[in-house]
Amino acid sequence: METLTTSGHAPINGINMYYEIHGKGGLPLVLIHGGGSTIQTSFSVLLPLLASNHQIIAVELQAHGRTSDRNTPESFEQDADDVAALLEYLNVDKANILGFSNGGTTTLQIAIRHPQLIHKMVVISGAYKRDGFMAGFFDFMETATFESMPQPLKEAYLKVTPDPAGLLTMFTKDKQRMIDFKDISDEGLGQIKSSALFMVADKDVITVEHTIAMSRLIPGAELIVLPGTHGQFFGEMGSGNDSNELPQVTVVLIEAFLKK
């Protein structure tokens, strides 16, 4: 199902930021991908399902996909500021925001740094503290090599930006950002006033216990745990989900939250 209405690059904070707009609707729903990803690797299954009822603004962050890099490290705070600036560029005053994995952590930073922009937010497999990741995650990141990056993510990057040097830069900056991951304080998370839905898989990279803790820190937040591994319940590339049934269930749950 082809839903794309327009795409382009916006001059945002020193980078050329790629975005796509799909579908039609009132309040836009912004999609923020995971680390090492493109719009398509994170959302190729989920996006068309959501675009049947919403205007979708899907973005690619610094050094990812079709967005250029800048001579600074990646950070969740900078990504949050970039998304906020893109929405201003597109004349969007308020939106719902859905972020997956690193994109979920970026969504938390948008809610903290730019609270006026968010109506409702959906955080899928996001984290706010280092101890929320599965055991051994940071030990793995310290020693991760480019060869250990999933091949489907490499191929997806090169498909949209045929630049091997850019791919290596993305990997290196993503890795360093995770090694340097800084906790968000409980107080910082607790100041978020936006309606929030937290979703996580029962065998995720982020622990269920961590996701429960986040949902309890934000007043009125909702929590859903679904079966599978990282990204599997909405069909993220490489998650091994070859069935469309669970992503359809996921969309029903997201839609129910957004309609409240």
Are 79 and 50 spatial neighbours (Cβ–Cβ below 8 Å)? no
Q: What is the pLDDT of residue 238?
A: 77
* pLDDT tens, position by position, 17-76: 999 999 998 899 999 999 999 999 999 999 999 999 999 999 999 999 999 999 999 999
Q: How many CB atoms lie within 10 A of CB 202?
A: 13
pLDDT in tens, 103-149: 999 999 999 999 999 999 999 999 999 999 999 999 999 999 999 99
Give 155's Cβ-side CA count (13 Å radius).
5
**76-89 and 102-113 helices cross at what angle (nearest 10)?**
70
**Domains of the chain, earliest start first:** 4-29+47-259 (3.40.50.1820)
| CA-closest candidate to residue 124, choices 141, 107, 149, 111 | 107
Q: Tell me, what's the pLDDT at 4? A: 81
- Average pLDDT for residues 235-256, to the nearest whole number? 87
Q: What pTM did the predictor assign?
A: 0.97
- Residue 252 confidence (pLDDT): 97
